[in-house]
Amino acid sequence: MNRRILVVDDEAPIRAALGQLLEYEGYEVRAVAGGREALAEYPRFRPHLVFCDVKMAGMDGLEVLRAVKAQDAAALVVMISGHATLQTAVEATQAGAYDVLEKPLDTDRLLLLLRNALAHLDLQEENATLQARLDTGREIVGESRAIRALLERVDRVAATPARVLITGENGTGKELVARAIHKGSPRARKPFVEVNCAAIPQELIESELFGHMRGSFTGAVSDRPGKFEQADGGTLFLDEIGDMALAAQAKVLRVLQDGVVTRIGGSKPVQVDVRVLAATNKDLEGEIAAGRFREDLFYRLNVVPIAVPPLRERREDIPLLVQFFVQQMARRDGMLPRRFTAEALAVLQELEWSGNVRELRNTVERLLILAGGDAIAAADVHRLVGRPVAVEGAGLGALLRIPTFEEFKLAAEEAYLRAKLAEHDWNVSETARALDMPRSNLYKKIERYGLGRPGAPVPAAEADALAG
């Protein structure tokens, strides 16, 4: 986002010089010559920060400061004084100024102060957004095009009674999508009941879904309603439905058709009003072809399909997700919130994330627990998580996104060695000869980057050499 800066100074040369400097830095600048102009311009321009001279003809800077803060209590105002004194600084601070700069202006100090002030503003805005999400229970975090499209579809389908089939890889947040649909629906005040079909033994899935009567099987010591009855009036979420046994699929189909369930061992049908949402990480059409999933059930469930994108397709959301998890862990788990440096976030954006958002959350938790210092740095990510693997085969573009030269050299070396090892069928001796590199050096680099044939452990001889 292009940040807007308002400059207020009655000296034309200072207005021009400061305006030019800020424009060179990429900010949108508007300059005015007096306090009354500033107060008129402020609500129209809506600046993110104001530079205001203290001593001005007519309305002085402190009056402008107080008036701006009366309009907008959160306004960031930096005062500029040609004769800054302790008293001036105290007065300005008491009136709500972010800081005071003394003339002649030092460019480096001014830009540093500006960046710090805007970083403070970014944090405030980010925290407000994240807090709103936490308060509303919406935990689908992101601003990428893929997530905006997902949320738009969720909002459109939530108000309808339509069944939804949510697809996506493990860890992408399919359950969160289901919960968001429920919370946005007319059933929001009724139960949301989740069943993980993959986690329940096949012999118990029917009892779990439809309930049972006492004595209907060994261990049935009392009458028990199933998940369909528990979700009456609300939403039943069938997670990992691709793992459900065919016999249970047939009974689910009948419930969807007739709206009634019959408990195991019972004879009395029970009417239920349930919206069914389902999710899977499997290719259900492939499962149908293999005879493991009912085609008629698939079409009953797949009224509105929603595909949740993997994290690698929305890497731009990673910084926001990281901040969300930090805030969440601070709030729920009492962890000390810490900042991730831009370099650390850049490294995280280059990782593979085969476990998607769930893996990222676990990684953030690990870093908060194990990393030292006030901020999580790139070195912490390298040490506790690993080197970026998404660089492999991604070409120069991915490498050029790496923020520092040292990290670039490491990532480039890793990608080069990985490619050469693959070229020589992961034979370390042959690769070392081809590279004209001592084999011991190559072993050390293999250890450093955690290189190995995909899906295979490091060979024993190599492991011995690395250990020695």
Span 354-379, pLDDT tens digits = 889 998 999 999 999 888 888 999 88
| Bridge partner residues of 32 (DSSP) | 8
Residue 410: HSE in the Cβ half-sphere, 13 Å Cα cutoff = 17
Q: ∠ CA(222), CA(210), CA(276), 5° rounding? A: 145
- Name the residue with tokens 């609300």: 234
The residue ranking higher by pLDDT, 130 or 14, is 14
Q: Is the peptide bond before 454 cis (omega within 30 degrees of 0)?
A: no
Residue ranges of the domains in the chain? 4-130, 145-307, 315-467
Average pLDDT, rounded, for the chain: 84
Query: At 401, is the pLDDT very low, low, confident or very high (cuts 50, 70, 90)?
Result: low
CATH class for domain 145-307? alpha beta
Residue 334 has pLDDT above 90, yes or no: no
Residue 165 has pLDDT above 70, yes or no: yes
Q: C-alpha distances in angstroms, 125 versus 118, 129, 141, 326?
A: 10, 6, 15, 15
Counting residues of the chain whose pLDDT is more than 90, the rounded percentage is 48
Lowest-pLDDT range of 1-10, 233-242, 448-457: 448-457
315-467: which CATH architecture? Orthogonal Bundle (1.10)
d(Cα 400, Cα 406) in Å, to the nearest integer? 12
Q: Do domains 4-130 and 145-307 have the same CATH topology?
A: yes
Residue 315 has pLDDT above 50, yes or no: yes
312 and 353 Cβ atoms separated by less than 8 Å: yes
The topology (CATH level 3) of 4-130 is Rossmann fold (3.40.50)
The residue ranking higher by pLDDT, 258 or 452, is 258
pLDDT of 137 reads 45
Span 417-466, pLDDT tens digits = 887 887 776 777 778 888 888 877 787 788 777 776 544 444 433 333 33
